[in-house]
Amino acid sequence: MIRSGTPVITSVEDLRVLAKRRVPRMFYDYADSGSWTESTYRANSDDFERIKFRQRVAVNLENRTLESMMAGQKVAMPVALAPTGLTGMQHADGEILAARAAEKFGVPFTLSTMSICSIEDIAAHTRQPFWFQLYVMRDRGFIRQLIERARIARCSALVLTLDLQVPGQRHKDIRNGLSAPPRLTLPNLLNMMTKPRWCHGMLGTSRRNLGNILGHASGVSDTASLAHWAARQFDPTLCWADIEWIKQQWGGTLIIKGILDAEDARLAVQHGADAVIVSNHGGRQLDGAPSSIAALPAIVEAVGEQVEVHMDGGIRSGQDVIKALALGAKGVYLGRAFLYGLGAMGEAGVSQCLEIIRKELDLTMAFCGVTDVQKVNSGILLPGTFG
């Protein structure tokens, strides 16, 4: 629907449609795709649809609150922005804009190692601590440097991703010739020319490369050396002993991301995790793995009394958020949802995404007869539709 030339946004889906119009194909597809047949990517959303609510009535619904805690931090609602690579290619200075929107809203922002804007860029444009996501590279000296830069930037949690030792086969990225950093092929350049809003923004910024790596990693001084470095640095030898070493180097709150198995969740706790994120990397790694929401209950049962269990994957609405909370998650992460907002309308789009999620979460909680989000449990769900 269009009113006075401005799209009327009522849902995250509206933001997705607008982002698809405004973001170059190679970057939109990078965000909105999975690996192989994309079965796990689809399951992340489809499995939420099967879970049904118990509607309750005649409950005093005044004074509702969504305030909660995630990883020891007070949040306006139990939602964080997930670490997403190449965010600054969805919209110029994308990580800065998303971090500002999250800060204003009162939820955590997580910066990816593979971001366009650097750790220092985010620190310079925000007042509150943010979280930093770490990939383990072969160059351990660079890892130590990243951790120290995150500490200097006042990051309050380190999110360690374990499920990208080897990359998944993502057919859309292969067809689009996407790489890190992105290569500008003729088809991609021609498609960019059809996105004038995006082009205007990118011409107005100097941030177009992997800001945490270029000029920081040893021997990486230009785009060519950066591409060579990125292609060979993800460490396939990563093991649990490395997690202990990273915990020692960091010394603060450590959140381990990429857990789909209860045994791995127990190992994460044994090796220093303060929280774990149930995640299949948005369906971008092992196609055929379970959806995050399907894997969540067993992991909550295994470690939920010892550490916080968070989850990501398939969150497109406030109803998805409350379903995850009902199944034991203490917080969830928005990835594609906030990227749609960013690609559609920049910082304002991220803010609108968060407001949509907040409203949907609040209303659904009310219909289920609950006034405090911290008291949400499986009792709000219809038996037989979950677990």
- Residue 23 and residue 29: Cα distance in Å, rounded? 9
Give the angle 77-337-75 at the CA atoms, nearest 5°. 15
What would you report as the CA-atom Rg of the chain, rounded to the nearest whole angstrom?
20
- Which residues are CB-contacts of 151 (< 8 A; sequence separation ≥ 6)? 250, 252
Distance (Å, whole) CA 319 – CA 12 = 12
- Six token digits for residue 20: 């698809």
Helix axes 39-49, 318-326, angle to 10 degrees: 80
Asked if 349 and 16 touch (Cβ cutoff 8 Å), the reply is no
Q: Which of 91, 216, 228, 281 is catalytic?
A: 281
What whole-number distance in Å separates Cα of residue 186 and Cα of residue 370? Answer: 54
**CA-closest candidate to residue 365, choices 56, 132, 148:** 56
DSSP secondary structure, 273-317, as one string? -SEEEE--GGGTSSTTPPPHHHHHHHHHHHHTTTSEEEEESS--S
Q: Among this protein's residues, is 281 annotated catalytic?
A: yes
Confirm if 365 and 64 have CB atoms less than 8 A apart: yes
Provide the 10 A C-beta neighbour count for residue 39: 16
Cis peptide before 297 (omega within 30 of 0): no
DSSP 374: G
CA 90, CA 96: separation in Å to the nearest integer?
12
The encoded tokens of residue 319 equal 């109803």
CA pair distance 214, 87, nearest whole angstrom: 16
CA atoms 240, 108, 96, 92: torsion sign: positive
Tokens 């003729």 sit on residue: 186
Contact 196, 100 (CB under 8 A): no
Q: Indicate which residues carry an active-site annotation.
A: 281
